[in-house]
Amino acid sequence: MNERNLKISIAHLYPKLLNLYGDLGNVITLKKRCEWRGIEVEFEEINIGDKIDNHDLYFIGGGQDKQQEEVAQELYSHKSELISQRDDGAVFLGICGGYQLFGHYYQPHDKDKLLGISLMDAYTVAGKNRFIGNVTVETDFLEPKTLVGFENHSGLTYLQGDTKPLGKTVVGNGNNGKDGFEGGRYKNVFGTYLHGSLLPKNPHFADYLISLALEKRYGEKIELTKLDDTFELAAHNSVIGKKY
């Protein structure tokens, strides 16, 4: 299928509240890597009070507990429609605070539990320490296998049931600093603690997500044209294995 006749619809959920450490860069990367291939991008920013239409890909960034609280109530009101989007094959990427809300709940320090939308079987509780620093993850589904980014969270996330991690933490703490894993995946729902932003330095993961979103829309696997990722992979390789 010629990429020039393809389209992908992307929704950015609550960017005015959850956009910590440049998480907006993930949406810019997805849009650019489509546009560079001639794939049309329909883009919608979803803010508090907006309805959420069907999209091929949904992105939500991270934020401090206060912003997370504001978004959690609103996101919860869309839980059933987003679960049916998940079951319809839509792609989701959540970073840190957004990732935490993909689970059943996030329990902050000395505050009420924030209910998540249960896109994945996971839960998060605030830990005593803050995990801050670079992270290198080894996956079993990407080429190159590694994902790199920056973590800054106190939340400890625990995966359950059929929810699998993105990979093993080679450097850094990841989900909870104990089980040696980072991130979560269930169906086409992906969550991670990796800020940075993540996708500019992990172009192979960006393309993986775009491919899944196109497959959801067109019902078949579509081979993406290879892009020149010299700079992106140089940035990727400059972080691998380094804590700071």
Q: Is 192 in the site for ligand GLN (CB under 6 A)?
A: no
Q: Is 196 in the site for ligand GLN (CB under 6 A)?
A: no
Q: Is 72 helix (H, G, I), strand (E, B) or coil?
A: helix
Element (H, E) at 148: strand 146-159
CB-nearer residue toward ligand GLN: 97 or 167? 97
Binder among 44, 50, 65, 69 for ligand GLN (CB under 6 A): 65
CA dist., res. 69 & res. 71, Å (int): 6
CA dist., res. 233 & res. 227, Å (int): 11
From 12, 153, 195, 204, the catalytic residue: 195
From 12, 34, 55, 96, the catalytic residue: 96
What's the length of the chain? Answer: 244
Q: Is 64 in the site for ligand GLN (CB under 6 A)?
A: yes
CB-nearer residue toward ligand GLN: 12 or 33? 12
Backbone phi and psi for residue 53, each to the nearest 5 degrees, phi listed first? -80, 175
Q: Is 195 helix (H, G, I), strand (E, B) or coil?
A: strand
Q: Is 62 in the site for ligand GLN (CB under 6 A)?
A: yes
Which among 36-44, 63-71, 75-83, 224-232 is the span making contact with ligand GLN, rule CB under 6 A? 63-71
Strand 105-107 and strand 122-138: the pairing is: parallel
Binder among 27, 34, 96, 214 for ligand GLN (CB under 6 A): 96
Partners of residue 190 on adjacent β-strands: 93, 185
Going by C-alpha positions, the residue among 6, 40, 155, 49 that lies closest to residue 94 is 155
- Residue 195: active-site member: yes
Binder among 105, 152, 224, 233 for ligand GLN (CB under 6 A): 152
- Residue 96: active-site member: yes
Within 10 A of 160 (CB to CB), how many other CB atoms are there? 12
Q: Is 154 in the site for ligand GLN (CB under 6 A)?
A: yes
Q: Is 20 in the site for ligand GLN (CB under 6 A)?
A: yes
Q: Is 156 helix (H, G, I), strand (E, B) or coil?
A: strand
Q: Is 211 in the site for ligand GLN (CB under 6 A)?
A: no
Which among 5-13, 141-149, 151-159, 208-216 is the span making contact with ligand GLN, rule CB under 6 A? 151-159
Going by C-alpha positions, the residue among 175, 166, 143, 146 that lies closest to residue 236 is 146
CB-nearer residue toward ligand GLN: 195 or 204? 195
CB-nearer residue toward ligand GLN: 21 or 205? 21
Sign of CA dihedral 103, 150, 23, 217: negative
Shortest Cβ contact with ligand GLN: which residue?
A: 62
Catalytic residue set: 96, 195
Residues of the shown chain interacting with ligand GLN in the complex, contacts defined by CB under 6 A: 20, 62-65, 68, 96-97, 152-155
